Structure 1
Amino acid sequence: MAKGMKIAIVDDEQDMRQSISQWLALSGFDTETYPSAEEALKALGPDYPGVVVSDIKMPGMDGMAFLKRLMSQDSALPVIMITGHGDVPMAVEAMRVGAFDFLEKPFNPDRMTELAKKATLNRRLTLDNRALRRELSDGSGLMKKLIGTSAPMERLREDILDLGQAEGHVLIDGETGTGKTLVAHALHAVGAKAGRKFVLFSCAAHDEAGLAARLFGPVTEGVVLPLIEEARGGTLVLEDIDALPQALQARLLTWMNDQGTPAETRVVAISNLAEQGKTCEDVLRPDLYYRLAAMKITLPPLRTRGEDILTLFTRYAEQFAEEYGCAAPQVNAQEAAQLLQAPWPGNVRQLINISERAVLQARRGSGSIASLLMADNEDAGPAMTTEGKPLKEYVEAFERMLIDNTMRRHKGSIANVMDELCLPRRTLNEKMAKYGLTRSDYL
């Protein structure tokens, strides 16, 4: 069940409202009841955090008119319709209008619970995608999901917004641990298919026969639909596209071509070949590769993102410190330089791992960031990158991190930050402006 989801029950019969409400409440749902469609409409807005269960036959505004009003203000809101015996044709019409599903009286309460669980999970995905879309569309401040102010990250966000609004299929590549799956989610969230199905599948998880059945059918026991049907109208994300056998590449291309333009279902393919010295072009059929790569996003490796490294390390260290109930480790100038110089072969995933271990070390009062980096990079060659940077860049990155950390610790109190860093107000203001830090971000 999706945490925090509500269920609005709309029925003119008090006994029926209470019966449904009591049963769903016993199943763990947060319910609220309304005696009429008119009353319910006053409370149900476009981003209502839940689903609706409504009778079809009601005095005043009936269930069909109610459904149409709800769909007009939020077409992704799951609405479960309750019909009387013999009203199945009306229920079918409700499904055509946009209902999530329907139940015929007298219905099995367990079936009601099952539908409610599916509907709330569907709603949570829709609302999460909308929240991510708003974050990506908002140019102010740092994004919670795609953190960083470096030039490569600014370009990545622009690419996501541009390609997300386009209709074509997309190829995402880049080194391991750079966040390719997160970018696939973001592309879906900012595009025209936001709120529709988002289906994620790894092509490396099955043999050829299993891949063929899962992708194209026939369905196997326990699987409702093949992926091309499950994702219909939404986005189908194929991780490890390079693991797809040639015969299935041909079938995938045929299916993509049969959809026409614009495609009903968008394919986002993810390749993990960057660190193996190959490219997706080396292993895919040329016609499939060029169909996918017409729109391509290559994620930047962490080592090219400059001071984003310090921002990410600090944010994750603070999250783990809160989780473990201890203070986050304070990074000194030498450690900041070591973090900036490390090669990061595992990229953001490796940084998250090191930040957690740094918190655990600090809690025990032992170890150092340098030792963690050295141990983590033993198999990756030299402990430091060969790309030298001017000392000024290291100093500025550390200075920005220090001011950012202190502002967040004091929740935007300029007086406290001035006192801790021994800076006059004018100097602090100048440095914050230089590094793009705004006091309102910390309040």
Structure 2
Amino acid sequence: MTGRGAVLVVDDEAAVRSSAAEWLALSGFAVATADGAGAAEAELAGRPFDVVVTDLRMPGGDGMAVLDTVARLEPDLPVVLLTGHGDVGAAVEAMRRGAHDFLEKPYDADHLVAVLDRAVRQRRLAAELGRLRAGAGDRRAIEDRLVGTSAAIAELRERVLQLAGIDVDVLVVGETGTGKEIVARALHDLGPRSAGSFVAINCAAVPESVFESEIFGHVRGAFTGAAADRVGKLAFASGGTVFLDEIESMPPALQAKVLRAIQERLVEPIGGNRQVALDVRFVAATKVDLLAESQAGRFRADLYYRLATVELAIPPLRARRDDIALLYRKFLGDAERRFGLGARPPTAADLAEIEVRPWPGNVRELKAQAERAALAMHRPPRPAAPDARLSLPDEVARFEALRIREALEAAGWSTAEAAERLGLPRRTLNEKIARYGLKRAV
């Protein structure tokens, strides 16, 4: 879909419909109109839209009826309500039932455009996420693993697909948290060795004293405690893939032996006299400049050149900011399903806030944040008093207090972060916190 997006304007007054349609068309939107809920349903059934703008009060089917129609026909389609000052309580209820936003009349036309831009963006992000999940075969598999629309991640996907079918050793380079093991598993799962084992070895986590035995294996009696033969991880992976993670941490004394195993595809267990042939693919990963490490004498240059036959560089998250919101929505949905929570899409303010953060921990940090947010968003609010009959100002105040508490909990009770999420000056937020007596649970 081109332009700023397709908008359906629903209002029973012809002059209002015409005026809104003209302004939105001049602003770059494709616009259709309807004079009520029935006409809106016909329009929605006939063509796709990115967002619906509807008046709340209309005879013969009001904005709530339009909201219900959208929920039935296309639940992900955002709805923006236009309401008079006296209808704020109804608008609050509509927000609870899934409306994207509401504006009080008379509204500022530029403000409406800004709200619609955010809604269209959220709609298209959801559609892109759906598209990534709707592919087929290997392309679907790689798009589900390496999610994003940026040029950097698209190029990486193509390289992984190309290399998966070629039985060549690969060096994966990327910062902590960028997904090096995900790339390695994709190379294995989408290639001819997928029926074999994927054996991951973290070179930084295996103690040097047992490294050689773990990797190459040993025969019975090779050393004290070797009560039986042990197949090493390299031989165990026969027919599959060996993933050497954090290869830069491999003990220097063992680098020569690993180089020989990679070059000759042979391994000799400790204490044994018989060499075992290796039918494996090696994928190594590093978070450092391995060439610079080898030039500085901290890593064997011959091992580096043997590993780097093909090098795959994973971009850090800061180099693919267009993917941040899409990844966040995916991780949030994954967390909700894993924790057994109902689906609650992030707000436009949430997405705007996460897109500007530096994310030094890359995708891993973003995923952890999404999981924390999923739990915070579904924390039950404090129940209202039984049979409470609140006035409209009290109802609005209760809703405002709830929103502020949710933002504070999602921000770990950082008032600076919560103020940014809510779009409020920090001083105003502090005043409201004091007014509503909001306190962090002990």
Normalising by structure 2, what TM-score?
0.48
Given the two structures, how large is their TM-score scaled by the length of structure 1? 0.48
**CA radius of gyration, larger in:** 2
